[in-house]
Amino acid sequence: MNLTKDGDDVLELVKAGGWLMLPIILCSVIALAIIAERIWSLQVRRVLPKHLVAQVWRWEKIHQLDQEHLKELQASSPLGSILAAGIINRHQNRDVMKESIEDTGRHVVHELERYLNSLGTIAAITPLLGLLGTVIGMIKVFATITTQGVGDPGALAGGISEALLTTAAGMSVAIPTLMFYRYFRGRVRMLVLKMEQQAMLMVEIMHGTRPRTEEEEH
């Protein structure tokens, strides 16, 4: 494989696509960075560590649910941050505890959705950039026809290639970006639902309204 030749071919395609290829390429780089970061950040083990509620209950049983453990819990994960907010008010009534959990939960959800609006914007604008390139390319074609007629296909090729390349580039970026945007939105909803379940489980255990299972005891 001749990497130099392949690189030259790609560069020629970018040049043929015109200046609108540059923002499309920039959008693709930003989208790739966001996708990689969100794949890392939205792993279930990072957001919802296993047996966290059981660990909190063990600390409570042995009277070690102190400020140090609360800071450790809060820094451990998004779920830990939500649980810590409720634990701080564990001696208050159930409604106060739930309200503090919900307030912290809104901030956690905002953090889980970080960059997703940018990803959605890229998915929306890259086809438009491709369409704009198509329009500009066709304008060049008609301008060439007006001045030179249709007898020279080479004179028309530049505008036609610009129209086709920018459209293809815009769609090539938009389609996978939109797929990942939808995937991440669904993943965030799933994670939020599971965090709500875990937080409500902790509230019920702390207030003695739910029997503890063997796993929660140990």
More confident residue, 163 or 119: 119
Quick check: is 126 in a domain? Answer: yes
DSSP state, residue 113 = T
Angle at 5 between CA 3 and CA 6, to 5 degrees: 60
The mean pLDDT value for 32-36 works out to 96
DSSP E strand boundaries for the chain: none
The mean pLDDT value for 48-77 works out to 83
Quick check: is 19 in a domain? Answer: no
- The total of structural domains in the chain comes to 1
Q: What is the pLDDT of residues 130-150, one digit of tens each?
A: 888 888 877 777 776 677 665
Q: What is the pLDDT of residues 41-53, one digit of tens each?
A: 999 999 998 888 8
Nearest to 34 by CA among 168, 180, 170, 179: 180
Quick check: is 186 in a domain? Answer: yes
Return the pLDDT at 75.
86
DSSP state, residue 92 = S
More confident residue, 91 or 157: 91
CB atoms closer than 10 angstroms to residue 33: 12
Q: Does residue 214 have a pLDDT over 50?
A: no
Alpha carbon 188 to chain centroid distance?
Answer: 9
pLDDT band at 216 (very low <50, low <70, confident <90, very high): very low
Question: Cα separation of 198 and 140, whole Å?
Answer: 60
Q: Does residue 3 have a pLDDT over 50?
A: no
Contact 81, 74 (CB under 8 A): yes
Quick check: is 188 in a domain? Answer: yes
The mean pLDDT value for 85-103 works out to 83
Supply the pTM of this predicted model: 0.80
Terminal CA-CA length for the chain: 59
Question: Cα separation of 90 and 106, whole Å?
Answer: 19
Quick check: is 159 in a domain? Answer: yes
Q: What is the pLDDT of residues 133-192, one digit of tens each?
A: 888 877 777 776 677 665 566 655 656 666 778 888 899 999 999 999 999 999 999 999
The mean pLDDT value for 91-108 works out to 86
Q: What is the pLDDT of residues 7-33, one digit of tens each?
A: 555 576 667 667 788 899 999 999 999
**CB-based contacts of 92: which residues, under 8 Å, 6+ apart?**
none
Q: Which domain holds residue 138?
A: 43-217
Return the pLDDT at 218.
47
